[in-house]
């Protein structure tokens, strides 16, 4: 059975650009970025500091957000909620809060389209069959998840946190395209002292983008 995944590049030609994949496994590892292998429960990776006081789900636009480019995509960044570590191959260290989970979803799925995707895969995607399937298809069709400067790119418009606990979050990201709004759901897990994306068993990093008639009910970004 095939599955569909896209990264947050969300290349628009009326709809998001999709990549269809077949279920096949593979595996690899990277050697930089946050490593959970030697962490005890509750510890953060070395050098990771965030403000974890904002434990409630945001109802208003977050303040202190700046916008940074990851390839063709504008990604929201917070000095308090993350990513507070922006290394050459990895943007990481997100607050253990609902907003931290939202920012991680934006960042990770944007960076996975870049040339350092293996590092992102190894450090910020939860290990398992889903990650193996995604890696296999990313290896054999590397250009299908990247865009070019001539293509239209959807922009981050807002978000909704539909469920949250200390160990897991379900996040919807609202994107604005040339033809309206779309939304995709991401499953996030607190793993190794940071938020990571949990892919589905067939390798999808998030649900297929669905049209949204009205952004009411979402927290909208400013800027």
* pTM: predicted TM-score of the whole model, two decimal places: 0.82
Contacts of 166 (CB under 8 A, 6+ apart): 96, 190
Single out the residue of 2, 147, 3 nearest to residue 73, CA to CA.
147
Single out the residue of 154, 134, 170 nearest to residue 211, CA to CA.
154
**pLDDT for 38:** 55
Structure token pair of residue 200: 């589905």
Residue 173 sits at the vertex; the CA angle it makes with 182 and 2, to the nearest 5 degrees, is 70
Alpha-carbon distance of 70 to 92, in angstroms, equals 13
Single out the residue of 127, 112, 115, 116 nearest to residue 37, CA to CA.
127
**pLDDT for 35:** 57
Residue 110 sits at the vertex; the CA angle it makes with 109 and 111, to the nearest 5 degrees, is 95
**pLDDT for 218:** 98
Specify the residue for token string 């269809």. 20
Whether 118 contacts 132, CB under 8 Å: no
Contacts of 193 (CB under 8 A, 6+ apart): 34, 36, 39, 42, 43, 44, 45, 48
Whether 50 contacts 95, CB under 8 Å: yes
Question: What is the DSSP code (8-state) at residue 150?
Answer: T
Alpha-carbon distance of 131 to 202, in angstroms, equals 9
Query: In the chain, where are the structural domains located?
Result: 2-22+63-155+187-208
pLDDT of the chain, 223 residues: tens digit per residue: 333 334 444 433 333 333 333 333 333 333 334 555 556 556 899 999 999 998 899 999 999 999 999 988 999 999 999 999 999 889 999 999 999 999 999 999 999 989 999 999 999 999 999 999 999 989 887 654 455 444 567 899 999 999 999 999 999 999 999 999 999 999 999 999 999 999 999 999 999 999 999 999 999 999 7
**pLDDT for 4:** 36
């Amino acid at each position: 059975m095939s599955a569909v995944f896209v990264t947050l590049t969300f290349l628009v030609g009326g709809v998001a650009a999709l990549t269809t994949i077949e279920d096949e496994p593979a595996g690899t590892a990277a050697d930089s970025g946050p490593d959970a292998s030697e962490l005890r429960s509750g510890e953060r990776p070395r050098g990771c500091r965030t403000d974890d006081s904002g434990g409630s789900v945001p109802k208003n636009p977050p303040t202190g957000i700046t916008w940074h480019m990851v390839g063709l995509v504008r990604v929201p960044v917070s000095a308090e909620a993350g990513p507070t570590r922006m290394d050459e191959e990895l943007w990481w260290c997100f607050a253990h809060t609902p907003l931290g989970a939202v920012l991680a979803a934006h960042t990770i799925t944007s960076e996975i389209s870049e040339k350092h995707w293996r590092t992102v895969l190894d450090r910020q995607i939860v290990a398992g069959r889903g990650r193996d399937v995604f890696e296999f298809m990313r290896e054999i069709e590397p250009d299908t998840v990247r865009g070019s400067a001539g293509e239209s790119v959807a922009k981050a418009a807002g978000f909704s946190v539909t469920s949250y606990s200390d160990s897991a979050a379900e996040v919807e990201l609202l994107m604005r395209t040339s033809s309206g709004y779309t939304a995709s759901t991401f499953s996030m897990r607190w793993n190794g002292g940071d938020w990571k994306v949990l892919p589905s068993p067939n390798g999808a990093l998030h649900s297929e983008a669905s049209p949204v008639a009205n952004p009411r009910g979402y927290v909208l970004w400013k800027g």
